Every structure is written in structure tokens, then in C-alpha cells.
Amino acid sequence: MKWTNRGHEFDKIGENFKNKQLIFYDMAEDTYHLFNRLQRINNNLIAAIVVDGDKSDEEICGVKTITKLEFASMPVDNYIVVLCCTNAANYRAQAHRQAINLGYKDGESLFYYDTFEYYYLPIFLYYSLGILYFKTLNMVITTVCNLNCKGCLNYTSYNSNKHSFTLEELKRNVDVVFNRVDFTGLFLISGGEPFLHKDIIPLVDYIGEKYRKNILRLSIVTNGTIIPSEELVKCLKRNNVYVQIDDYGRSIESLSKASDIEYILNDYGIKCEVLRVPYWINMDPVDEDGVDILAKVNACNVPFTGTKSGRLFGCTYNQFAIEAGLISVDNLDNESLDLEKISDKRTILEMQMGYSPNGFWEFCKMCPGHEWMNNDSIVPGQQLGK
């Protein structure tokens, strides 16, 4: 989306969120992660939880529960309702109808939990509490990798200048980011292959000591071919790091140590997941002359933001393409925000939500698009010649 009123794009809906608390309508099992996330950020955000029954004298994780009758008597202008109920027997539709009848309005004071979490949450947190919240932030610490995968999302095979960023560069970047960002749902350390970085232990310790309270999930993704040292494993444990272990299956069967890594991490009580997927989306550049670039960007709606050298990139794929030399950029200010120079949190929020100076990123001209619009799939981890 192209900025038309930079720093004020969300002011209208933001007015609806000012000085409001949330009411969770019911609590289906798959909505607890949203509840826990909000409680971590501010335990006064959720005013009440609507539950079934005629009486409600209990609490859920410190939040009072109320009956549907009590909910109907609460002042509509004071709250934002998030429907967190199951859709069994049309229960969600009935809850939605009750809220509408009470005067709550779709897209203003009434939201389904998934829409609220994946789109409106950063806007709500800023305009209600002044908190700049990011859903995800990715930081590449090295472009060096021991694999050379076809269709690598970081465009490793195109990068002729692979290198690791220095510890001081990475620490400075993290400092700049968290001087602006109050919370992030996910802070992902990636590569290349992060386990190859010689200073990964002091870096993770630095992030953990200074900013762990600002990060709901601190995560590292590895290609599953390198057994971490005991020192690194202990570092991951003390900083409560979640590890995603990619397993590319038959493509690198002789190299994969994913199961061994999982065993070691489980033995130390470190949360981890072995990710095995049947296919990758093919993100290799394409020739798309004549395509409506703005329509393409709006259809793509990529949800991933990245950071490097004190800058915020609204699309990680654009960032990776610049780093790999796939595209040449004359003005980085058209592709990212310099967080040392820009202190207006609303502008930073807007870039996270998809706004940019031109309405698209330079790489959009040759990018096939994210998985919402890209149906071209390839076998994971196929190796190219070095």
C-alpha cells in the first residue's frame, strides 16, 4: 500500500481503540495463545471473559469471568469484543449476533480472534497503550551456509559475497530496533546457517540479557545439518530460545542430523520443532512485465518484516534480494526505514502493516509472490552445484 497520509493511516480506526479494554467472548482452545500473548504484554488489557452458565465467580489466569447476561449490561463504548468461541453448532454466529444487537460494530469494536490477532493487534496496542508491537521480526546474522538449496528463501545461491555480520554490527542493530519496538511476538535469528556464526553464543546472550522481556518468542532456525556444541545448547537453554529444525528429507538425507539435534535439545528441555514440509514455494525471480504491480503487492500481502543495520524492511524477501545482489537499489529509504532517524512509532507501525513510499518494493517487480498467490512448488532442499 502506498502512503497517502504517512504517520496517520490508522488514526481513524485508532480512535476506536483509545482507552479501551478487551472482552474475550468465550475461550476456545486455539485462542489461548492470543490470551497468553496479551497477558505477557499487559495483564490489564483483558477486562473479562464471557463464559457459559448462569453464574461466574471464577477467574481464568487472573481475569474475571462474566455471564452473557452480565456482558449485555456492560457499557458498549468502553470495550472491544474479541470473539474467541468455537463455531460448533453455530455458537460463534450466535455470539456475533448478540454482540451486534448490543451495539458493537464489525471492524470497529467487534472482531473475530484470528482477524484481530493477525491484523488489528499491532494497531490496537499502539492506539490503546502507545505500545509498538511487531508480529514478527527477522534478523539475518550470516549469509554463509553449508548448503546451496534451489529456491532458498534467502537467495543464497545468488549471493556471491556471502559473509557473517560482526558481533558489534548485530548488537548495534538489536539496540536500535528495541529503542523503537516495545514488543515483538517473534524475533527470529536466521541465516544462511546461524549455527555457523562464530559469535552466536555472545549474541544470543546479549539479546537475552537486554531484551528477552520484550520478545515473546526468541527463535533460531537451523537447516538441521550441524550439531550444536554443548556451550551453545546451554546458551539456548538459559535464554529460553525456541529452535526450528528444518529437515529437507531425501534431498540431503546423508547430511541431515535433524533427529539428533532434536534429541539433544529435548534432553536439555529446550523447546524445538522439526519442520518437515512436502514442498517449498518457489521464490526464484521471474519476468513479469505487464503485471499490475500494485494489485500484485496487495494480493501477496507478505507478513514478514526484517531488520538489518538499524533499518526496518517491510518485506524480508525484498531485504534478502538486496543482500544477495539480485536487485540494485539507489535509495534505501524507498525500501526500508532508518530507525535511528525515524522516531515516529506510527510510521514504523504503518510499514509493518504494509505501507511504503511507492506502494511496492523494488523486488516486487520480479518476485513470484508469497504463498497466498504463488502456486509454484519445488522439492525442499534440492542441492545446486557449489
Residue 2 lies in a domain: no
Same domain, 293 and 187: yes
Distance CA 327, CA 313 (A): 15
Last residue within a domain, chosen from 80, 108, 129: 129
Give the model confidence (pLDDT) of 260-285 as tens digits.
999 999 999 999 999 998 999 998 88
Evaluate if residue 98 carries a pLDDT over 70: yes
Evaluate if residue 77 carries a pLDDT over 90: yes
Question: HEC profile for the chain?
Answer: CECCCCCCCCHHHHHHHCCCEEEEECCCHHHHHHHHHHHHHCCCCEEEEECCCCCCCCEECCEEEECHHHHHCCCHHHEEEEECCCCHHHHHHHHHHHHHHHCCCECCCEEEHHHHHHHHHHHHHHHHHCCCEEEEEEEECECCCCCCECCCCCCHHHCCCCCECCHHHHHHHHHHHHHHCCEEEEEEEECCCHHHCCCHHHHHHHHHHHHHHHEEEEEEEECCCCCCCHHHHHHHHHCCEEEEEECCHHHHCCCCCHHHHHHHHHHCCCCEEEECCCCEECCCCCCCCCCCHHHHHHHHCCCCCEEECCEEECCHHHHHHHHHCCCCCCCHHHCEEECCCCCCHHHHHHHHCCCECCCCCHHHHCCCCCCCCCCCEECCCCECCC
Evaluate if residue 289 carries a pLDDT over 90: no
Last residue within a domain, chosen from 129, 152, 178: 129
Distance CA 16, CA 115 (A): 16
- Residues 6 or more apart whose CB falls under 8 angstroms from that of 89 comprise none
Q: Looking at residues 37-49, what average pLDDT do you find? A: 93
Give the model confidence (pLDDT) of 5-38 as tens digits.
999 999 999 999 999 999 999 988 888 989 999 9
Given a contact cutoff of 8 angstroms between Cβ atoms, the answer to whether 142 and 192 are in contact is yes
Evaluate if residue 49 carries a pLDDT over 80: yes
Instruction: Look at the chain and report how many structural domains it folds into.
Output: 2
Distance CA 356, CA 359 (A): 5
Distance CA 176, CA 349 (A): 16
- Confidence category of residue 386, pLDDT binned at 50, 70, 90: low
**pLDDT at res. 362:** 93
φ/ψ of 216, rounded to 5, equals: -75, -40
Evaluate if residue 57 carries a pLDDT over 90: no
Range of the domain at 142: 133-378
Evaluate if residue 302 carries a pLDDT over 90: no
The mean pLDDT value of the chain amounts to: 93
Last residue within a domain, chosen from 129, 156, 185: 129
**pLDDT at res. 205:** 99
**pLDDT at res. 186:** 97
Same domain, 263 and 303: yes
Q: pTM higher than 0.85, yes or no?
A: yes
Same domain, 219 and 344: yes
Which burial class, exposed, middle or buried, applies to 68 when counting CB atoms under 10 A from its CB (0-12, 13-18, 19+)?
middle
Give the model confidence (pLDDT) of 137-171 as tens digits.
999 999 999 999 998 999 998 999 999 999 999 99
Evaluate if residue 56 carries a pLDDT over 80: no
Same domain, 282 and 220: yes
**pLDDT at res. 320:** 96
Residue 358 lies in a domain: yes
**pLDDT at res. 89:** 65
- Confidence category of residue 55, pLDDT binned at 50, 70, 90: low
Task: CATH number of the domain at 74, please.
Answer: 3.40.50.20
Residue 92 lies in a domain: yes
Region of 122 (left: φ > 0; alpha: ψ -120 to 50; beta: rest) is: alpha
Task: CATH number of the domain at 222, please.
Answer: 3.20.20.70
Q: How far is CA 202 from CA 44, 80, 193, 234, 243, in A?
A: 35, 42, 17, 12, 17
Same domain, 38 and 176: no
Residue 42 lies in a domain: yes
